[in-house]
Amino acid sequence: MPELPEVETIRRAVGPHVRGKRIIHTNVRATKLRHPLPPELDRLLVGQLIVAMDRRGKYLLLRCKGGTIIFHLGMTGMLYLVKASSPHGKHDHLDLVLDGSYMLRFTDPRRFGTIIWTDNDPLQHPLLVAHGPEPLEEEFSAGYLYLKRHRRKIPIKQLIMDSRVVAGIGNIYANESLFRAGIAPQTSASDLSPDKDLLLVDAIKGVLADAVEAGTTSIGSTSTVEKPQGYFPYEFSIYGKEGRPCPKCGSAIRMMRLGGRSTFFCPHCQK
């Protein structure tokens, strides 16, 4: 499931190519993804000038002159550029044909993605208004984390996956960040020792930045006109590696369920 780094990778790959383009035609093939698509989507979008592609948490914001398309990629969604003449497959739910020779295509086999149009400030949309700070920005600091956690009796892993606390971190990067910080995922947020706030904030920022870097390097320049093959060029240290040796100490990595999610940890390195 795409998290902040995968969504940011798409923004960096696609954004520069769509900025300044006009939507001249749309192919809307699905009427329902996670939410119903607006029936008047074609009328709303045709003629719109794209001014920017931004990201907030795991959402992509395609800002146009008269409003914004809010995309969420769900479990399997992809947004990429293809030649305007490319045939479509059965999971290609929306094409925005741009002036020039390309179109922006939304593909989503599992259809948990979201496409919403708003002509108001997208950051005030109900999906986004409660989002906490962006983890890679300065506002997400050790002091901020302490304020948000010190009265909370939930596992620290669940706390950092709460988009109201910090935006864009899902199960994968929560696992990776806690491993990098040496913190046991089930530790109650209120019990974290104060010297761990900075460690955890630095680990989250470092893991996300490394994953964005790996994604941006792998996507290169040519894949903007081909369907990208997958999300995760970043090599995980611990996620999905139950029974394999811990990269720090060699102990076997363990897996447990925490809040219903697969949680990987090293019992030796994470206290």
- Residues annotated as catalytic are 2-3, 58, 261
Smallest distance, Å, CB 249 to Zn ion?
Answer: 3
Which residue stretch of 60-68, 119-127, 197-205, 259-267 sits at the interface with Zn ion (rule: CB under 5 A)? 259-267
Residue 99, SS3? coil
User: Smaller CB distance to Zn ion: residue 34 or 268?
Assistant: 268
Smallest distance, Å, CB 246 to Zn ion?
Answer: 3
- C-beta contacts of 12-16 below 8 A and 24+ residues apart: 12/212, 12/216, 12/219, 13/80, 13/216, 13/219, 13/223, 13/224, 14/53, 14/79, 14/80, 14/81, 14/104, 14/224, 15/52, 15/53
Asked if residue 183 binds Zn ion (CB under 5 A), the reply is: no
Which of 23, 183, 203, 266 contacts Zn ion by CB under 5 A? Answer: 266
Rounded Cα distance between 118 and 105, Å, is: 19
In this structure, are strands 67-72 and 254-258 parallel, antiparallel, or unpaired?
unpaired
For residue 74, how many C-alpha atoms fall within 13 Å in the half-sphere facing its CB?
A: 18
Asked if residue 268 binds Zn ion (CB under 5 A), the reply is: yes
User: Smaller CB distance to Zn ion: residue 190 or 251?
Assistant: 251
Asked if residue 178 binds Zn ion (CB under 5 A), the reply is: no
Contact flags string 197-236 toward Zn ion, x per CB under 5 A: ----------------------------------------
Smallest distance, Å, CB 266 to Zn ion?
Answer: 3
Smallest distance, Å, CB 126 to Zn ion?
Answer: 42
Dihedral sign computed on CA atoms, order 215, 216, 222, 225:
positive
Burial of 12 (0-12, 13-18, 19+ CB in 10 A): middle
Contact flags string 239-258 toward Zn ion, x per CB under 5 A: -------x-xx-x-------
Binding region for Zn ion (CB under 5 A): 246, 248-249, 251, 266, 268-269
